[in-house]
A and B are shown apart, each in its own frame.
Chain A
Amino acid sequence: MRALATYSVKGGVGKTTTAVNLAFEAGRAGVRVLVWDLDPQGAATYLLRGRPKLRGGSRRLVGTSGELEPHIRATDLAGVDLVPADLSLRHLDLHLDKAKRPSHRLRELLEPVADGYDLLFLDCPPSISLASESVIATVDGLLVPVIPAPLASRTLAQVARLLRDQAEPPSLLPILSMVDRRRSLHRELVDELTADWPQLLPTAVPAAAVVERMGVERAPVGLLAPRSVAAHAYRSLWADVASTLWSA
């Protein structure tokens, strides 16, 4: 099982929409996907029409006798299962801290179910915490959505610094998110980011009303408007991601 996290220290940059839309595209491509919602706000759980309930809360989940399998739920998307989030995850750091090896605990929990999936998406809350460290120790790649904004490069630099401290850091995979090419500032910043960050995935996801509609319809863009520019972008982004994961 390969593992990716959608991660950023900033909120509202499109982490969850990226995770959900890529999970949908991966599922259509014959990939068995597990989305694990680690954000107590539970946005991925909501978009995937899951019930925001972790039986026993995050304490029981990450505790010594915790297991992931009983928390896994099917979604309406072919090939995509979900570990839902609830508010108890706001204490995740606290509970991880009690584990023997906090940074390895997520990986330990995943091990028994790993054979059933080809790809894991960890949808993370916007923070730098013990949970982030555990996520970074678990995944092969960190998908970091960035909006073309003056501080975007700085945000990416913070994440890159975070990875630099790791013995075996995951790949940094920045994604241009919510791009509005009608705005000259966006065009300039996209050029700058492309020049500064060679790891940037080639596909830029446009700012689009249909992405916002996901919150109303609770479905990925590929189902809501399969011929839209945004759906096309997510398909293309999935191709970028898949080629980094399975290029060999």
Chain B
Amino acid sequence: MAPTFTRTDVESDQVVDALVADDFVLEGPVPSHRLVLETFDGDLAAAGLRLEQQVVAGHTTLVLTSRAGGPPASLDTEVRPAWPQDLPPGPFRARLESVTNGRALLPTLALSSSLRTLTRVDARDKPVVSIEVHDDLRVEGEPAPSPWLAEVQGRTGHANAAEAAAAALARLGLDGSDDDVVALVALDVGVSLEGHDTSPTVPLDADEDAVVAFRRVLRHLADVIDATIPGTLADHDIEFLHDLRVAVRRTRSVLTESKGVLPADVRATNRDFFRWLGQVTGPPRELGVYLVGWEDYTAPVTDATPAALDHVRKELEARRRAAHRDLAKALRSPATRDGLAAWRAWLAEADEPDGRHTVGPIVVDRIERAQATVLRAGRAIGPDSPAERLHDLRKDAKRLRYDLECFGSLFPAKPWRGFVDQLKALQDNLGEHQDAEVHLAYLRDLAQDLHHRANVDTDTLLAMGRLTHHIDRRRRRERQAFMERWASYDTKGNARTLDSLLGSVD
């Protein structure tokens, strides 16, 4: 990272004059605008990347820098991508696609300044290092805490020159930082360049008071809900709604498991509220999943009649838009606003340990019960059991998974991960099966609806028939795979792993 220097009681002009006197060549000032683009989860930062749209002296580029080394990739384009696919094919786009996991690129930090560049050249007139002095620094148009910053821009193969430039700035009495301008300003204004943490796991101590621990878990989930609602309303990408739904379901699950720990009236009121909130998020999510996977979903049937399913897709898109409008209305309604405000107000009250329980034994008890329920339900399922049984098992498995994840910090990481992975493999099978069930029902309903419309041709209905057949095959395949998947979950080894996990909590 490029080191940065400043000092509040020194004018940037003094620094620039001193550097010019030290044979640095001055260029500028020119207007500079930088916009950091990142996914909600911080996928780029996690991969060691940073994407910026830079407009310097009217010239616009997208710049992708990597901690792994190599020069910054610089793409001449006016496009501000919301998705990697908005960019032309090539390595720049591919590098973004490989890490963004289907999430949109969102503006994270907008930084503007008046930029002067001071360059040191060698005896052959070759630039070896630059110092960029940013004056009149603004974030989102508002003055930044540091009025000016000087950043050393080293060049590959000229590390000594960069060190000498940093030393020159230090000799001027400036305060140095290892962070570059963007990182430093982000830190100053409290913007995270690492994205949001939607993981439910918070630090817990098995011996701490259960009331305090449960409230900490719920507070963290409330943060996730708050953070995902704006993106859900803006409909940036489908994962905002997914993260919101999961945080709502986890909240409900933790409230359920808090029987005997948290006040009964708080539990009852808020379980009802979050059940309702979960329900209103359902329809747009189901339709969204359908559409995001549309290409894969329809691939086996579109080669013969590629355009025949266009009607279906457009109808699904229209329904998803309508469902999203309903969701937005619900999220903006007094019911949501007041429900979340009351929930927040309760969570904001001072934690008061009641001394009745410590969290470790409570969580162990809940997980044992959840696992017993899963085993009972799973063992009762045979080859001819109705689909509802699998759906019920799926819900039981979710409860167990949420318990394990929300209180995950109580357990040793490695065996915990191993057990959760086993559970996840079972859930994947149950999820695929349930998705196919839902999609089949939805397609039949849609076919009936379209059949009554004069503008839908026979090819479309035939293609829907083929699609239904294909999805039904997938459903049956998942159904057949269940017994095997269950057998690998319901093993003595897995039971021992869970016992030892739970036993590790004193």
Contact = CB atoms under 8 A, between A and B. Distances in A.
Nearest to B91: A118
Contact of B90 (A31, A33, A81, A113): A31
A73 B158 contact: yes
Contact of A32 (B70, B87, B93, B158): B70
Instruction: Sort chain B's interface into a size bin.
Output: 20 to 34
B90 A242 contact: yes
B89 interface: yes
Contacts of B62: 30
B158 A31 contact: no
Given A31-B92, A32-B91, A73-B158, A51 B73 contact: no
Given A51-B126, A74-B156, A115 B91 contact: no
A31 B76 contact: no
A58 B463 CA distance: 65
Interface string B51-79: 00000000001101010111111111000
Interface in B154-174: 155-158
Contacts of B126: 49, 51, 76
A29 B69 contact: no
A78 interface: yes
Contacts of A28: 74-76
Kindly name the residue among A34, A76, A79, A118 whose own CB sees the greatest number of chain B CB atoms within 10 A.
A79
Given A30-B64, A79-B73, A116-B66, A72 B156 contact: yes
A27 interface: yes
Nearest to B157: A73
Contacts of B73: 30-32, 79, 118
B91 A79 contact: no
Nearest to B94: A246
A34 to B, nearest CB: 8
Contacts of A143: none
Interface string A204-248: 000000000000000000000000000000000000001000100
B70 A81 contact: yes
B412 interface: no
Interface string A27-57: 1111111100000000000000101000000
Contact of B158 (A33, A74, A119, A242): A74
B503 interface: no
A34 B72 CA distance: 12
Contacts of A79: 71-74
Contacts of A119: 91
B130 to A, nearest CB: 11
A246 B71 contact: no
A80 interface: yes
A74 B155 contact: yes
B165 to A, nearest CB: 14
Most chain A CB within 10 A, of B62, B66, B70, B87, is at B70
Contacts of A242: 90
Contacts of B94: 246
A29 B92 contact: yes
A28 B77 CA distance: 9
B88 interface: yes
A29 B156 contact: no
Interface in B204-235: none
B124 interface: yes
Interface of B: 61-62, 64, 66, 68-76, 87-95, 124, 126-127, 155-158
10 contacts: A27-B74, A28-B74, A30-B75, A31-B90, A81-B70, A81-B156, A116-B70, A117-B71, A118-B73, A118-B91
Interface of A: 27-34, 49, 51, 71-74, 76, 78-81, 113, 115-119, 242, 246
Given A28-B74, A49-B126, A118-B95, 5 more contacts: A30-B64, A30-B74, A31-B91, A78-B61, A118-B73
